[in-house]
Homo-oligomer: A and B are copies of this chain.
């Protein structure tokens, strides 16, 4: 398993409720790809969302986000963590 940080752009104005619903949609199917979303943060003004996950691959993370209707714009492995 690898740790990943993925980033979504163009999510300007996302509300706390929308953010929560999008995250729960991911959580509901993450097991299909062996992904575990761990934490997520959003900046509604600039439309940025960061999702931290543990997954077998970046492609697995993306498949979950795509099936939930919000593909990531960037997915980076972050093997180092403090």
In this assembly, does A35 line the interface, its C-beta being within 8 Å of a C-beta of chain B? no
Those of A55-82 within 8 Å (CB) of chain B: 76-82
Copy total for this chain: 2
Identify whether the interface residues of A are mostly helix, strand, loop, or mixed.
strand
A41 and B52 within 8 A (CB): yes
Is A81 within 8 A of B5, CB to CB? Answer: no
Q: Which chain A residues in 1-16 approach chain B with CB under 8 Å?
A: 3, 5, 14, 16
Chain A, interface residues (CB within 8 Å), range: 20 to 34
Sorted nearest first, the 9 A-B pairs with minimum C-beta distance are: A41-B78, A42-B80, A43-B76, A40-B82, A23-B82, A41-B81, A43-B78, A19-B80, A16-B80
